[in-house]
Amino acid sequence: MSIEFLSDEQREIGELARRFADEQVAPQAARWDRDHEFPRETVAALGELGLMGVCVPPELGGSGADFVSYTLVLEQISRADAGLGTALAVHTGAGTMPIVVHGSEEQRQRLVPPLAQGHEIASFALTEAGSGSDAGAMLSRVEEQGDELLLSGTKQWVSNGSQAHNFTVFALDPAAAMKPSAFIARRGASGMTLLGEAEKLGQHSSSTADIGFEATPVERLGEPGSGMAIALSTLDGGRIGIAAQATGIAQAALDLAVGYAKERVAFGRPIGGFGAIQQKLAEMQTEIEAARALTLRAARLKDAGLPHTIEGAQAKLFASRVARHWTGEAIQVLGGYGYTKDFPAERYFRDAKITEIYEGTSEIQRLVIARGLLGEIARED
């Protein structure tokens, strides 16, 4: 790692993730993409290394590292395969950590260790067909039947959906005057149905599924009516993770473009000798370093227990734009080869776009930042 202010532990974790990405992920990424294959064995190997629970406390089976270390891991894994990066980000940041932070001690002890060790996979189910950015418009609801809580509704675009054992789900709660609460659903519960996998532009190695619930038994996570607070705080951290993922994708594109510019000869010399290519690569590296710095700043604030909503939004907004733009320019550097599947540039380009959409669109990030600047006058009636 080239960031001088990282601690020795952070460097070691980042280096471990880098080696794993280079040796175990990158050689298989093209096949996973082509075959739309979820890399179950590689996920299990991540668990054996402690990377599925990087920031989970040791007493719950995790590695006990900080959030900065987690973002370093996400960047390195996403550099090799963004789909696996999404699986890891959703599993840890969105699926496992809400239980760590908001679960009862019994829930923490029962549910978290198998997730942190990679024996099980976690997911996060918030979006519905009519409630994406407007999460408050959800229709899923829970009914009380004796001592049971029964969930009915449909969740859309659930990352890890077809692979998950544990689902953090949000639904309207009669115990909170039909305000949203958070619940936990377990794989195989009655009434839970996999409705189908989304056909996506990129990130083919990740699962994105629609899940139906019909009187499915669930357990409450946190206090009744705290669903939106749990969701929003989870997304605050999740956006930092997506910024790290976007930075990793962009770094992979830069590495590819630099290597190609050194080897590809045109008009008697490597194309890296031409000013147009040099200017492009220089700007690319500078913006990637800026994205990395914004991401680490937000992660350090989170580790310090300080507000990080705006900083996380800034990191995601900028890093996702960097990834989407510069993966396209990497294709340009490679020319015709960049447009083919002989090189991974086109995969990076396809994988990058979603970072501007999930965990809050770029438009939502701008809204969050603007409200931080302008206060109430930025809120629409």
Distance CA 135, CA 111 (A): 26
Give the chain's count of helices (H) and strands (E).
Answer: 12, 9
Cβ-in-10-Å burial (0-12, 13-18, 19+) of 97 comes to: buried
Is there a contact between 357 and 316 (Cβ–Cβ < 8 Å)? no
Is the Cβ–Cβ distance between 90 and 124 less than 8 Å?
A: yes
DSSP annotation string for 3-14:
-TT--HHHHHHH
Q: Helix %, strand %, coil % for the chain, to 5?
A: 60, 15, 25
Tokens coding 349: 């380009």
Number of Cβ within a 10 Å radius of residue 376: 6
State the burial class of residue 66 (Cβ atoms within 10 Å of its Cβ: 0-12, 13-18, 19+): buried
Please state, in angstroms and rounded to a whole number, the distance separating the CA atoms of residues 82 and 102: 28
> What distances in angstroms separate CA 188 from CA 45, 77, 111, one per listed residue?
24, 29, 15
Active site residues: 359
